[in-house]
Structure formats: structure tokens, C-alpha cells
Amino acid sequence: MTTNKTVLEWVDEIKSLVNPDSVMWITGDEAQLEGLRAEAVSTGELEKLNEQLLPGCYLHRTKPNDVARVEDRTFICSREKENAGPTNNWCDPREMYKKLYDIARGTYKGRTMYIIPFSMGPIGSPLAKIGIEITDSIYVVLNMAIMTRVGDRVLEALGDSNDWVRGFHAKCDVDPENRYICQFPEDNAIISVNSAYGGNVLLGKKCFALRIASYQGWKEGWMAEHMLILGIENPRGEVKYVAAAFPSACGKTNLAMMIPPKYLRDKGYKVWTVGDDIAWMRIGKDGRLYAINPENGFFGVAPGTNAKSNFNALESTKKNTIFTNVAHDLSNNTVWWEGLNKDLPQNAIDWRGNKWDASKFDKNDKSTCAAHPNSRFTAPAVNCPCISPEFDKGEGVPISAIIFGGRRAKCTPLVYQSKSWENGVFVGSAMASETTAAAAGAVGVVRRDPMAMLPFCGYHMGDYFAHWLEMGKKLGDKAPKIFNVNWFRTDDEGNFMWPGFGDNMRVINWIIDRCEGKADAVETPIGFVPRPEDIDLTDLDMDIETLRSILAVDKDIWSKEAAEIEEHYKKFGDKLPKELRNQLETLKANLK
């Protein structure tokens, strides 16, 4: 365990609040975790899957009312309301602590209190940070043991320091009316009650690595972003790294693990995954921006994942993986989800725990799905066939390009390059995307989601934009180039016009070539767009006219877009940096 007084005092405080039957420190020891798996199986919390086909894998179902992040019940409890900004729910921290302590009081009775020391980032890395999560859920312990580095090694690295994040989770009765996900940035503290699902309860992930860490990054001069990190190796063996921010369920895991088209593989191109969801980035000694992935596993969207769309993700789930809210194929005790293959299981239990009737399945009606649209796998990063050799080193990889993107059926072209860092920050701040099943609420509604951080920024978003501009000033001519992509343009029948997935490599190659001054583009009002002939279509069944249409920048549509950005900017009032206001004025002038 530990002699760290700050840790022991906090553990005692929470213990006397929740009144557990017993206490268990998570040591990181495999035998301890194995014991917890066995216990969870004995109570039905987990189901053991086919040991031959899916060794070490388990299935878990959450309550049907608890299947996604809950943005309307997520709070940033800074002391001043102003510091949470217009995009976050806020509550006075004193009031919220009291409310949450009242909700959690006594709720561990009959339960065990698990104490999980965890490191975000390789233990001992100068970019890593430590947290401790207290929970009454074995599911949380086992997921955290995949998603982060846990156990005694973390406490050793912490020593007597008080520099750690307090994460307290109580599942209580999983009552949606009393569900709260609260961050206290000034106290390095998180409290989550009445949920037992993913991003709400794996407190190292969105709560710490984005909401708390974005605030820390602002104060300490670094960045915590909702970004994948991808290495692209060219035939000469040089690896360039890009980081990309897409909103939830918009393709980060897919891009992070994509397999390049055959003609590029034959030439010797390779892809290396550093991270699929979160990047922590700092300026290195050489003045460039370096990124680490603070996580140790993937909490990925299951539906749509198959050997063709994301072979590497599927491979990653073949052992030691926890599946949440997918379908249970009883014919061989494995799992299934929509898009895994075309063989609808004839003897399966759906994500709600009911017998699934394949004959009633209608892919356009989500209520008939066997797996929940936001069902997920929790897979160890080491399982990924293309995991980067840099992944575990903790020094970080130098970022050549930052890519923003989202789901836009119309409007946004396949790819464009911003004209400068400042212009790139404008592009990120104005990002919009159609909502997905990753959060509770309506799906398919276009909303502004700056830098894909709308649900994850732990402070005032106007200050966050200013922080981005400040980082650009510090980076100067070593700053990564900033791009925007959209894999999701649709035709009049609603079909995707760009093949996506591995073929996105064609766009990434243009991006890297642009960073090296090797590719052409035309200047448009919004930025530099490739000419159709600048995107390599080798072996692709796509005509150049279709490509031309998804590269087009329509002035009328973009004038409407500029008006919407103006409306979106109003929220930030005086906190909107003047540079961004100027960028908007320039865009409007360019469109005249």
C-alpha cells in the first residue's frame, strides 16, 4: 500500500462516508484481478465467453437506462461560475459536494470498496499523471485495469506527493434521476454517482484525462485533447505522426488503426497506432509539439467494427477483452454486433438481456438491434497488431499535423488545410458534427463541437481557445499544420460518397505531403483544398467527378455556415479571442 498521508486521509474520509463491508487495494497483481473476475462471474455481473475462441474475454450488460455518457448531468464545479463557461453545466462546489455526499452516504453497505491507484501515461513518464479511483464496482476495477496502468507501482511512483487526482465513484442504485458526473478542477477531484457505464465511471478517461487535464494543461502550459495519435511510416522507414480530433463515434479508433490500401502497402507504407481517443501534448526541448497517449487500452465502439473496416481493432478484441452491451451469440458463446458480419445470429441474447429475434431485425430501426449502438469493447493496447513501438516509452511523438473532423453530410469538403495556426484554431473552434449514440440524447443533429471537446473541456471555452492561440505563439514555425477532414459527405440518397476507413490513408498522404511542401492545392475562401488529381485514386472505383464534388467549396452554403459560426461565437462574449473574431470576418470577406 502506501504511507502517503494525503492518500490515506482521503481514503478514510470516503470510507467513513460510504460505510463498506470491506476494503480492497488494487495491487495490479494478476491473481487478484483473476479473483475479481471469478467473483463477477459468480454474481452474474460478467459472463465468461468461449475460452478457445475468445480467451480471457467477458461480457457485461449495463442497465438499459445507463448506456452512454450523460452530458446534461455532467458538471464542472469550479468555484466561480464564469470559469466553467457557457458550454458546461455548473454548480457551486460546496453545494455539489454536499449533494453528492448525501447521495453516496452509506451506499457501500454490503459492498466492497475498491481503491485503484492508476497512472495516465507510462509510469514515471514526465508526461504522466497519477489518480486514485475509489469504486464499488468490479466492472470498473477490471476496465480500469485494461484502460490504465494500475497498482502498487503507481503508489511507489507517487511517493509522498499530493499531486494526484481524487476519483470517487459510487454506483448507488444506478438511478438516472440522481446521476451526476462532477469535476472539481481546482481540487483535482471527480465524483460520479448512480451510473455504471464507461465514460461516466472509468474516471481516468474523459473525467480526468480530458476535463481535469484540460484545466491542468491550461494552468501548466500543455494540452489535453480528444485526439487519436497515428504514425505513418513511408517506404524509406521515416515515421511522421498526426493527431486528429473527431467527436465521439466519428472515426478516431478507425483512423488510428487503419490499414492502408494494398498499393500503398506494397510500396512499403505502414501505420502505427499510438492512441485512439486522447492525446496529452507538450512542447519538447526541440520546440516541437510532442504527444503521448495517457491510456493503456481502447474503449472502442463495437457496431461497424469488422475485419474489413477495422481489422486491427477486431484483432485487439480477441483476448483479455471486456465487451459491454453487445449481443451474446449462444451458439458458440461468443459476441456479435451489427456490422460484424452478415450472419445474423439465430440463437442470441440482445444487449438488454432478451432473446433476440433476427427475423425482426431492421437495420434502420435501432430498437431492433442486437447490440446497443454505443456498445463497446475494452481491449488492452498491447493486443493491437499495429501498436507503435513508441506507445509505452512515454517520451511522446512529435506531431506534424493536427486534423479536425466530424460528420457533415453536406458543406465541409473531404479535406482542407488551414492558412495558419490562427486560422486552424478558428477551424477547430467552428467545428460541427452530427450527434451520435455515444451520448444520451438525439442522434444526427448538427451541433457545434469545438475541437471535439464540447463535452470534455474543464473550463471556459473562450479561455480554451486563447490557450490554443498561446500554444501556437510558443510553437512558432515549429507548430503542426492544421487540417480539417470530413469522411461523411452523402449523396441525395444518403449514401456516403467517400469510401472511408483504410482509404482515408489517401487523404492522410496528401496531408503529410502538404506538411513537407510536396503536394499541390488550390486556395479557397476556407483554406487550401486539393485538386481532384492531388488525391491518389489508384485501385479505387471512384470517378474523379465524385471526388471533385466532395472537394467543392460552395460559397452559398459556406455563407450560411459563417452566419451560424457567428451565432455560435456569441455564446463566448468577451472571452472570445479577438484573433478568432478577425478570422471570422476574413472568412466572410473571402466569401463575398
487 binds, among Mn ion, ligand SPV, ligand GTP, none (CB under 5 to 8 A by kind): ligand GTP
Residue 93 or 198 having the CB closest to ligand GTP: 198
Stretch that binds ligand SPV, among 5-13, 199-207, 227-235, 347-355 (CB under 6 A): 199-207
Which of residues 20 and 131 has its CB atom nearest to ligand SPV in the complex?
Answer: 131
Minimum distance, C-beta of residue 257 to ligand GTP, in the bound complex (Å): 8
Listed in sequence order, the residues at least 6 apart from 545 whose beta carbon sits closer than 8 Å to its beta carbon are: none
Of all residues in the shown chain, the one whose CB is closest to ligand GTP is 500
Looking at 277, 329, 390, 422, which residue binds ligand SPV (CB under 6 A)?
Answer: 277
Q: Name, in order, each residue with C-beta under 8 angstroms of 388's C-beta and a sequence gap of 6 or more.
A: 231, 272, 273, 274, 397
The C-alpha atoms of residue 560 and residue 565 are separated, in whole angstroms, by 9
- The CA distance from 469 to 129, in Å, is 25
**Per-residue DSSP letter, 458:** -
Q: How far is the CB of 162 from Mn ion (least distance, A)?
A: 29
Give whichever of 210 and 466 is closer to ligand SPV, judged by the CB atom: 210
- Of 445, 424, 467, the closest CA to residue 85 belongs to 467
Site string for ligand GTP, 503-522 (x = CB under 6 A): -x------------------
Q: Is 486 in the site for ligand GTP (CB under 6 A)?
A: no
User: How many Å apart are CA 214 and CA 83, to the nearest integer?
Assistant: 13
Q: Is 381 helix (H, G, I), strand (E, B) or coil?
A: helix
The answer to the question of residue 248 lying near ligand GTP (CB under 6 A) is yes
CB-nearer residue toward ligand GTP: 164 or 351: 351
Q: Which three cell numbers stand for residue 536?
A: 491518389
* 205 counts as binding ligand SPV under rule CB under 6 A: yes
Residue among 206 and 514 whose Cβ is closer to ligand GTP:
206
| Candidate list 129, 149, 171, 206; residue touching ligand SPV; CB under 6 A | 206
* Contact status: 169 vs ligand SPV (CB under 6 A): no
Tell the burial category of 494 from Cβ atoms under 10 Å away from its Cβ (0-12, 13-18, 19+).
Answer: exposed
Catalytic: which of 57, 182, 250, 386? 250
Can residue 449 be called a binding residue for ligand SPV (CB under 6 A)? no
Query: 301, 279, 289: which is closest to 228 by C-alpha?
Result: 279
Candidate list 61, 149, 205, 252; residue touching ligand GTP; CB under 6 A: 252
Tell me how far, at minimum, the Cβ of 22 lies from ligand GTP, in Å: 34
Contact (Cβ atoms closer than 8 angstroms) between residue 74 and residue 455? yes
Angle, helices 213-220 vs 461-475, to 10°: value is 50
Counts for the chain of helices (H) and strands (E), in that order:
16, 31
57-65, 184-192, 197-205, 558-566 -> range binding ligand SPV (CB under 6 A): 197-205
Please indicate whether residue 250 is annotated as part of the active site.
yes
Query: What would the grid cell of residue 464 be?
Result: 480554451
**The one among 164, 180, 299, 498 contacting ligand SPV by CB under 6 A:** 299
Asked if 294 is part of the footprint of ligand SPV (rule: CB under 6 A), the reply reads no
Q: How far apart are the first and last CA of the chain?
A: 66
Closest distance of CB 197 from ligand GTP, Å: 13
Q: Contact 277/253 with Cβ under 8 angstroms?
A: yes
Binding of ligand GTP at residue 251 (CB under 6 A)? Answer: yes
Q: Are 276 and 436 in contact (CB under 8 A)?
A: no
Cβ neighbours around 443 below 10 Å, total: 14
**294 or 300: CB nearest ligand GTP:** 300
Residue count, binding to ligand GTP (CB under 6 A): 22
Shortest spacing between CB 277 and ligand SPV, in angstroms: 5
Radius of gyration of the chain (CA): 23
Closest distance to Mn ion from the beta carbon of 299 (Å): 8
**To the nearest whole angstrom, how small is the minimum distance from the Cβ of residue 456 to ligand SPV?**
8
Could you say whether residue 324 binds ligand SPV (CB under 6 A)? no
With CB under 5 to 8 Å by kind, the binding choice for 206 among ligand GTP, Mn ion, ligand SPV, none is ligand SPV
8 A C-beta contact, residue 325 and residue 67: yes
Nine cell digits for residue 38: 471469478
Residues 436-475 touching ligand GTP, rule: CB under 6 A, are 438
Q: Hey, which residues between 292 and 331 contact ligand GTP (CB under 6 A)?
A: 300-301, 303-304, 309
User: Smallest gap, in angstroms, from Cβ of residue 249 to ligand GTP?
Assistant: 4
Site for ligand SPV in 51-80 (CB under 6 A): 69
Write the DSSP assignment of 111-163 as a string of letters: SEEEEEEEEESSTT-TT-EEEEEEES-HHHHHHHHHHSEESHHHHHHHTT---
- Between 69 and 568, name the residue whose CB sits nearer to ligand SPV: 69
Rounded to whole angstroms, the maximal C-alpha distance in the chain is 69
- Smaller CB separation from ligand SPV, 144 or 519: 144
Cell digits of residue 273 = 497506432
Planar angle of CA 117, 118, 121, nearest 5 degrees: 155
Are 134 and 115 in contact by the 8 Å Cβ rule? The answer is yes
Q: Residue 467's Cα: distance from chain center in Å?
A: 21
Q: With respect to ligand GTP, which residue has the nearer C-beta, 132 or 457?
A: 457
Residue selected from 421, 501, 510, 569 as contacting ligand GTP according to rule CB under 6 A: 501
Least distance (Å) between residue 438 CB and ligand GTP: 4
Per the structure block, which three cell numbers stand in for 93?
Answer: 462546489
Determine the Cα–Cα distance for residues 276 and 437; give it in Å rounded to an integer: 18
Q: Does 277 bind ligand GTP (CB under 6 A)?
A: yes
At 225 the three-state DSSP class reads strand
Single-letter amino acid code for the residue at 556: D
CB of 162 to ligand SPV, least distance (A): 27
Contact 247, 451 (CB under 8 A): no
Contact flag: residue 240 with ligand SPV (CB under 6 A)? no
Chain residues in the site for Mn ion (CB under 5 A): 248, 277
Residues taking part in catalysis: 250
Binding site for ligand SPV (CB under 6 A): 69, 198-199, 205-206, 248, 277, 299, 438
Query: Interface residues with ligand GTP (CB under 6 A)?
Result: 246, 248-254, 276-277, 300-301, 303-304, 309, 438, 487-488, 496, 500-501, 504
